[in-house]
Amino acid sequence: MSTSAQIPGKGQPDGGGAAAKKRSQREVARTASLVILAILITLFAVFNLKEVNVSYVFGSGKAPLIIVIVISLLVGIVLGYFADRIPRKKRR
C-alpha cells in the first residue's frame, strides 16, 4: 500500500460533495441576510435625517436624528458589555 493514496473526499478541492453544498447554502443565506440588513439600515438612515435638539451635559445643539440614535446604540452596547463583565457575586 502506498502512503500517498488519497482518501476520497479528504484534502480534495471539491470536498465531500454534500458538505460543500451545505456550506455554500449557508454562505448564500448569510450574504442575503447581510444585504437585507444593509438595505434596512440605509432606509432607517434616510428616514431619520431630521435635525433634532440635543441637550448635552455642558450645553445643547442640533444633530441629525440618525446620529443621536447610533450614538445611543453604541453607548448601550458598551454599557451592556461592561455590565456583563462584572462577576455575578459583585452584582448581588
Torsion of CA 38, 40, 43, 47, to 10 degrees: -130
Using DSSP, state whether 30 is helix, strand or coil.
helix
Shared-domain flag, residues 30 and 69: no
| CA dist., res. 45 & res. 54, Å (int) | 18
Q: Which domain holds residue 83?
A: 49-92
Shared-domain flag, residues 56 and 92: yes
Model confidence at 45: pLDDT above 90: no
Q: Cα 83 from chain centroid?
A: 20
Shared-domain flag, residues 54 and 74: yes
Shared-domain flag, residues 59 and 76: yes
Query: Between 91 and 89, where is the model more confident?
Result: 89
Whether residue 2 lies inside any domain: the answer is no
Shared-domain flag, residues 22 and 55: no
Instruction: Provide the whole-model pTM.
Output: 0.52
C-alpha cell at position 69: 440614535
Shared-domain flag, residues 56 and 91: yes
Whether residue 33 lies inside any domain: the answer is yes
Residues above pLDDT 90, as percent of the chain:
16
Q: Of 64, 34, 30, 39, whose CA–CA distance to 50 is shortest?
A: 64
